[in-house]
Amino acid sequence: MTATQAPPAAAENGTTDTNATAPTGPLVAPTGLAGILGSADHKVVGRLYIGAALLLGLASGVTGILGGVDRIDGTFGNTILDGETAPQVLSFHSSSATLLFIIPALLGLAMVVVPLQVGARAIAFPRAAAASFWTFLVGAAITVTSYAINGGPGGGRSDAVDLWAAATALVVLALLLGSVCVATTALAVRTKGMRLERVPMFTWSLLCTTVIWILTLPVMLAVLLIVFLDHRHGGTFLGAPGPQMADQVAWLGRQPQVYAAAIPVLGIALDVAATAARSRLPQRGVAQAAIGAFAVLGIGAFALTAVSPSVAQQPVTKAMALLAPLPVLAVLGLVGLTLKGGKPVPTSGLVGSVIALLVLLVGTLVGAATPFEGALELAGTQWVTAQSHLTLVAATIGLIAGLYHWSTKVVGRAGTEAAGRTAPLVIALGALVLAVPEAVSGISGEGEEAVTGIEAMNGIAVAGAGLVLLGALIAVAGLVGKRRTDEPTDPWGGSTLEWATATPPTFANFDGPVPDVTSAEPLLKATADDDGKDA
């Protein structure tokens, strides 16, 4: 089957000839099954990524709740799960939350939105983007299967454990390929005049995010290779096979690397705020610097347990943890300034992104407490789990805000505003209810796998996890609905190029040539003129 894509002249135009971006003939999108399986259209691939990631996220959430219910009595592997299954469930929950849910979901959103924002007719390397998704899907399916047949880190079936390592490596490889496509689009397929300082903040944040993923996820590949070889040949390096194998890959979901999954939250919040306020974003340079700084603080590939068990005590790790709240605070301030300078409408995107920023701020502040020694010995306790949960939930809320904000471009219909406003509140409430018992447990010095002595709080944490899942389901329900015949092209009055495309965007994104861009808000002047005429 041949993957369909825009013609090379359009797809890979990144040069100075704007006319070359004009479609040379009618571009017809494939329909039916071929439109899904054989498409290299970035919107289709992005939607597939988002759909698959949401399903896997549901599985991750359910396993998290199962693990939580199992340890309500303070022990682990003694109630609804047996001693062998419980660590596997916990391991699946922690690794899938990042690798199978939040990273691919954000990558999918980026694949849909970034080419539209930079005025491109297609993503860079469209076939590679499609290959990235299908590789991810196969890798994810094998990963889930390996857990199901008693594999996973520390599983009882040796071949299945090897399968888990190989499948996880495949997932990482797929995500890397997708990251290269998105980063290259932002760097080299921008339309004429769309300089890097003019790109929308979501695109900038995804550029930073994908570059950080490209610079850190290969370390995961290297670790998985070692884990695979070591496990297959007797475990002379990493020790005897057991649940501790999960520690070798746990750094992906822990501070500081976990922040790499939350960088897009900053970009989504800034773009949504400017659109909701119908004003220009002030201090764009500061905004870009803040996002860039947060991205740098999310580099955690050096925190390898295999070679550096005491990484939490290193000054660099401590400094990164202490500095992480500053960029989030800066972006919160900029969002406030933007809203103050315009006439903000409390859209679902705005409500969601502000809540996501606040939860992320709490997450970074919780993380900033970990470097302190003495009275607070929080490293290696449930406090760290609380920090990871808060950060990943912030990224989830940011993802939902982005999905609602760009719903007309992503799913071709406007999401239900009530659901879009309610879901982030429910999820944020759930995150706090989940994280507080974990944090309290951390202060009391409990390890990461079991909470003892405070059984009632275990129940509260499970209730919090349930609220997070409920909120996510509300959000998805609000996005899925019957499409109206008169879906607006731009429901919010946006000022960036994606709002110049149809709903849903056509195969080649833009109906005509994309004119030179001369400002960061190419459509704002037109909107202002419109308002003036209407008045």
Which residues of the chain form contacts with another protein (CB under 8 A)? Answer: 12, 14-16, 124-125, 176, 179-181, 183-184, 187-190, 192-193, 195, 211, 214-219, 221-223, 225-226, 229-230, 233-234, 236-237, 301, 304, 306-308, 488-490, 493, 499-500, 502, 511-513, 515-519, 521-527, 529-530, 533
Cβ closer to another protein: 4 or 21? Answer: 21
- Token pair recorded at residue 158: 């040796």
Provide, rounded to whole angstroms, the least separation between the CB of residue 512 and another protein: 6
- Token pair recorded at residue 496: 């960036």
Cβ closer to another protein: 226 or 369? Answer: 226
Is residue 148 within 8 Å of 61, Cβ to Cβ?
no
Cβ closer to another protein: 298 or 466? Answer: 298
- Which residues make Cβ contacts (< 8 Å) with residue 523, sequence separation at least 6? 494, 495, 496, 497, 499, 500
Distance CA 152, CA 88 (A): 6
Provide, rounded to whole angstroms, the least separation between the CB of residue 511 and another protein: 6
Amino acid identity, residue 471? G
Provide, rounded to whole angstroms, the least separation between the CB of residue 40 and another protein: 15
Cβ closer to another protein: 464 or 494? Answer: 494
Q: What is the DSSP string of 239-278?
A: -SSSGGGGGGTGGGGSTTGGGGGTHHHHHHHHHHHHHHHT
Provide, rounded to whole angstroms, the least separation between the CB of residue 214 and another protein: 5
Amino acid identity, residue 451? V
DSSP summary character for residue 486:
T
Q: What is the DSSP string of 191-234?
A: PTT--GGGS-HHHHHHHHHHHHHHHHHHHHHHHHHHHHHHHHTT
Cβ closer to another protein: 82 or 511? Answer: 511
Cβ closer to another protein: 9 or 62? Answer: 9
Distance CA 449, CA 458 (A): 12
Provide, rounded to whole angstroms, the least separation between the CB of residue 112 and another protein: 18
Cβ closer to another protein: 35 or 515? Answer: 515
Taken in order 117, 122, 123, 129, the sign of the CA dihedral is positive
Cβ closer to another protein: 303 or 395? Answer: 303
- Token pair recorded at residue 17: 């000839």
Provide, rounded to whole angstroms, the least separation between the CB of residue 372 and another protein: 28
Provide, rounded to whole angstroms, the least separation between the CB of residue 221 and another protein: 5
Provide, rounded to whole angstroms, the least separation between the CB of residue 263 and another protein: 17
Q: What is the DSSP string of 417-473?
A: HHHHHHHHHHHHHHHHHHHHHHHHHHHTT--SS---S-HHHHHHHHHHHHHHHHHHH
Residue the block writes with tokens 């003019």: 198
CA distances (Å), origin 250, targets 80, 242, 244, 357: 24, 14, 10, 24
Cβ closer to another protein: 482 or 533? Answer: 533
Residue the block writes with tokens 């960061």: 520
Provide, rounded to whole angstroms, the least separation between the CB of residue 147 and another protein: 25
